[in-house]
């Protein structure tokens, strides 16, 4: 595990956008107006026979409802709240995408490595920038522009073969999906910092640590299993993931005669 220290300076936990159950339009405008981030609308989800499909029309879309809707998306991105409001007013269900390489880069890591990094950075009392958690168990650490370009060289200096690391540096020409964008029926992108705080509060319950690694793994696994299946989420209309999927994404089967 290594830490990219070029986190976005000055972003304290209280300043990081919070999920408030508001519309995609409201969130997109807030990112542009309050955070001064460029935003652009991406694809969206459409209900087809009771199943959420991506607006791109590809039945095998790998990121349904969470990718650019047009090739010139980089030129479409705007930091104007007025323009953002106008774009999402035309398509209120469009995903919120943030171009990297402008006000920030992003480091894409597996969820397991991401939570370890968060814990370590908090223990080291490092300044933490925004971190998102995606439904496909990835985490995006927002870092200073240009930091992504340093990652390959840092990996080489540490003597790690790049092929063995499930890590992607996202700089100019890339993008990340912002909360509360939904990734098909898998769930919504969320701010991981509040998720991480809930994990510590509900599992440690005031204790300093878990005691040992095995206890930590068992406890966190049990908590994550409930979080990803039975816990109610505001992004799902205060339904559990299981209940949300049962109500909205149950495939209709035609029985053979």
Q: What band does 257 get if pLDDT is binned at 50, 70 and 90? A: very low
Report helix angle 111-123 to 192-204, nearest 10. Answer: 80
Higher pLDDT, residue 13 or 126: 126
Token pair in block for residue 160: 């790690």
Pairing of strands 131-133, 138-143: antiparallel
Rounded to whole angstroms, how far apart are CA atoms 4 and 140?
A: 12
Q: Which helix (H) or strand (E) holds 75?
A: helix 73-76
Question: Cα separations (Å) of 156 from 159, 160, 161, 177, 241?
Answer: 5, 6, 7, 29, 40
Phi, psi (rounded to 5 degrees) for 170: -110, 110
* SS3 label, residue 182: strand
The tokens for 251 are 């495939």
Tens-place pLDDT, residues 105-136: 999 988 888 888 877 777 777 777 889 999 99
- pLDDT at position 163 is 63
DSSP E strands: which ranges in 94-229?
Answer: 96-99, 105-110, 131-133, 138-143, 168-170, 175-177, 190-191
Res. 8: pLDDT tops 70: no
Using CA atoms, how far apart are residues 151 and 154, in angstroms rounded to an integer?
A: 5
Average pLDDT, the chain: 79
Least confident of 122-136, 185-199, 223-237, 241-255: 241-255
| Percent residues over pLDDT 90 in the chain | 40
What is the SS3 assignment for 33-56?
HHHCCCEEEECCEEEECCEEEECC
- Asked if pLDDT for residue 20 goes beyond 70, the answer is no
The string of pLDDT tens digits covering residues 41-84 is 999 999 888 788 999 999 899 999 999 999 999 999 999 999 99
């Amino acid at each position: 595990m290594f830490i990219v220290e070029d986190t976005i300076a000055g972003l304290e936990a209280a300043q990081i956008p919070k999920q408030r159950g508001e519309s995609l339009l409201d969130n997109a405008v807030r990112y542009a107006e309050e955070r001064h981030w460029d935003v652009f609308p991406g694809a969206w989800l459409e209900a087809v026979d009771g199943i959420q499909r991506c607006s791109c029309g590809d039945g095998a879309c790998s990121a349904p409802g969470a990718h650019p809707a047009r090739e010139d998306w980089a030129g479409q991105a705007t930091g104007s709240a007025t323009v953002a409001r106008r774009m999402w007013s035309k398509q209120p269900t469009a995903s919120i995408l943030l171009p990297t390489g402008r006000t920030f880069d992003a480091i894409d890591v597996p969820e397991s490595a991401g939570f370890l990094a968060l814990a370590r950075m908090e223990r080291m009392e490092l300044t933490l920038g925004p971190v998102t958690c995606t439904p496909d168990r990835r985490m995006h650490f927002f870092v200073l522009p240009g930091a992504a370009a340093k990652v390959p060289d840092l990996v080489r200096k540490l003597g790690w073969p790049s092929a063995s690391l499930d890590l992607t540096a996202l700089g100019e020409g890339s993008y990340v999906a912002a909360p509360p964008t939904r990734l098909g029926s898998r769930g919504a992108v969320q701010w991981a910092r509040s998720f991480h705080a809930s994990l510590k509060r509900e599992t440690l319950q005031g204790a300093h640590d878990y005691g040992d690694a095995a206890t930590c793994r068992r406890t966190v696994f049990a908590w994550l299993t409930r979080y990803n299946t039975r816990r109610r989420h505001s992004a799902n209309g205060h339904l559990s993931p299981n209940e949300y999927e049962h109500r909205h994404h149950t495939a209709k089967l035609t029985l053979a005669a």
